[in-house]
Amino acid sequence: MRHAGNRAVEHAEAMVDLERDTAIAGIRAQLAKPGAPDCGDCGEQISKERRVAMPSAQRCAICEDRRERAAKRGW
Together in a domain, 15 and 51: no
Q: Domain of 46?
A: 34-75
Q: Give the model confidence (pLDDT) of 17-75 as tens digits.
A: 999 999 999 988 877 888 899 999 999 999 999 999 998 899 999 999 999 999 999 87
Collapse the DSSP code of 45 into the 3-class scheme (helix H, G, I; strand E, B; otherwise coil) and give the result: strand
Together in a domain, 38 and 68: yes
Residue 57 dihedral angles phi and psi, to the nearest 5° = -55, 135
Residue pair 55/30 in contact (Cβ under 8 Å)? The answer is: no
Query: Structural domain tally of the chain?
Result: 2
Is the pTM higher than 0.75? The answer reads no
* Residue 24, beta-bridge partner list: none
Together in a domain, 22 and 42: no
